Amino acid sequence: MKRIALIAAACVALSHAAIAAGPALNAEELKALLAKGLVVTSTDLKGGREYTARINLAADGKLSGSLTPAGDKAIAVSGTWRLKGNQLCRTLAPLQPEEICETWLKSGTKEVVIQVGGREVAVNRW
């Protein structure tokens, strides 16, 4: 259980790295992007040195996938997601069962930097 708590803390409170992030996706852009569901690969800001993940954001608001801490076994994750204005709010059990709201900042054609509570914490690609 202690390992899961440490991984959850790392998912939200990662150190900053120099990633060129632009403006946030607006509500319409997020809605269009996720309308048919989306599979993303996610890494920490250190390029996957802390963790990598593959997450399926299904069109019906369900979330599933796996998160792999560096040097460890993959952990199956599941939860839900919903849009709240220009944020994606999601749960990620068993690591983060509480709802976390993310802002997606444009950083490439099929890439965003994830911001939580004003801090950049991850990169998603699809």
Which CATH number do you get for residue 62? Answer: 2.40.128
Q: Give the mean pLDDT of 73-78.
A: 98
- Is 87 a residue whose pLDDT tops 70? yes
Look at the alpha carbons of 90, 55, 86, 83 in this order and tell me if their dihedral is positive or negative: negative
- Structural domains in the chain (count): 1
Question: Residue 8's pLDDT is what?
Answer: 52
Question: Residue 16's pLDDT is what?
Answer: 41
Give CB contacts under 8 A, 24+ apart, made by 75-81.
75/4, 75/7, 77/53, 81/34, 81/57
3-state secondary structure of 126: coil
- Is 15 a residue whose pLDDT tops 60? no
In sequence order, the 6+-apart residues with CB closer than 8 A to the CB of 117 are 12
Domain residues for the domain of 112 are 2-125
Distance CA 50, CA 114 (A): 15
Greatest CA separation found in the chain?
39
Q: What is the per-residue pLDDT across 21-44, written as a single tens digit (0 to 9) for each?
A: 899 999 999 999 999 999 999 999
Please state whether the predicted TM-score (pTM) of the whole model is above 0.95: no
Q: What is the per-residue pLDDT across 102-112, written as a single tens digit (0 to 9) for each?
A: 999 999 999 99
- Is 90 a residue whose pLDDT tops 70? yes
Q: Which amino acid is at 65?
A: G
